[in-house]
Amino acid sequence: MNRFAASAIAVVGVLAGVAGIHAAGRILAAQQDAIAAATSIELDADTEELALRAAEGESGEETAEPDQADEAEASGEPPAGDDLQRVAPRAPLSDVDGAQSPEPGHQAWKSLRLFNPVAVSAGVIEAQGYRVALEGVDPVLVDDECTFEGRTWPCGARARTAFRSWLRARAVQCVVPAKPESESITTDCRIGNTDLSAWLVANGWARAAEGGDYAEAAEQARSAKKGIFGPPPVRVDAMPSPGTPEPLDLQGVDPAPADIPEPAAPPTANGIFPPAPPADIPQVTP
């Protein structure tokens, strides 16, 4: 075989390979188109089914029946067929667990610190526009008088003085409205952990309110004769009252002589006082 024939055979082989590759590419493209068309048909079918279901739901032709459990939950009744009983809630484990609801009218009140309080009486204070009557006590008014063993004394003024001395204008923490009111309010107040009402009753400077929490403390103060239940305070006069002076006891004291000689005159020179300077001192002439 000559060289020309071999070259011709190689060219024919290359052309045959290119034609085969081209034919395979067409076949592969046709298969991909067929797969895409089938997938599109399936997706269109699913979309159409979903659209039909949505249309049926909107038109109300098919509505799902509610579950019995859902109906029971909405009505608050146990499901039919279940042996359930509604019982009362358990008691709180401690006093902290069960919070007490505020009294009527106290919902908007809050704990507020009041500065420079002034005791109007033993049981009533004024501070920052608030006039507060301490809860749980019957205040002792300034003009009240008490009787102890037949003696009457102004216990109201003394109680206010004792309360002021104890307060010393310290800030008090009270549960009050957000803004001061024109009338006085009755509430609790504290200085630190000390309840003002409890201090007044325990020291006998206020009476416990009937049915309150301080009846026992008031009875102890009465038994101990504290404050208004005791004797009037001993008054000490700072300045003694003037009176007639008592005569002095001069027994044993020698009386002064009747005639006391006058002291002798100082010595003088030539009758001149003060004496002249000595003659031997040289005179300085200016």
* Chain centre to alpha carbon of residue 79: 48
Q: What residue has token string 């008490």? A: 146
pLDDT at 136: 95
d(CA 109, CA 86): 37
Which tens digits make up the pLDDT trace of 102-132?
455 555 789 999 999 999 999 999 999 999 9
3-class state of residue 163 by DSSP: helix
Q: Are 202 and 222 in contact (CB under 8 A)?
A: no
* Chain centre to alpha carbon of residue 74: 42
Phi, psi of 155 (to 5 degrees): -70, -25
Q: Are 189 and 112 in contact (CB under 8 A)?
A: no
Strands 185-187, 130-134: pairing is parallel
d(CA 215, CA 223): 12
Query: What HEC string does 27-70 produce?
Result: HHHHHHHHHHHHHHHHHHHHHHHHHHHHHHHHHCCCCCCCCHHH
pLDDT at 18: 63
**Residue numbers in the chain where pLDDT is lower than 70:** 1-5, 8, 11-12, 14, 18, 24-25, 29, 32, 34-52, 54-107, 236-286
Q: Are 208 and 217 in contact (CB under 8 A)?
A: yes
Of the candidates 144, 157, 114, which has an alpha carbon nearest to the alpha carbon of residue 132? 114
Domain boundaries, the chain: 13-46, 110-229
Q: What residue has token string 């005159």? A: 265
Q: Are 134 and 200 in contact (CB under 8 A)?
A: yes
* pTM (predicted TM-score): 0.48
List of E strands, the chain: 110-114, 118-121, 124-127, 130-134, 137-138, 146-148, 151-153, 172-176, 185-187, 189-191, 194-195, 207-208
Of the candidates 193, 196, 213, which has an alpha carbon nearest to the alpha carbon of residue 205? 196
Which tens digits make up the pLDDT trace of 44-69?
556 666 666 766 655 544 444 555 55
* CATH classification code of 110-229: 2.40.50.90
| DSSP secondary structure, 186-200, as one string | EE-EEETTEEHHHHH
3-class state of residue 112 by DSSP: strand
Number of H helices, E strands in the chain: 5, 12
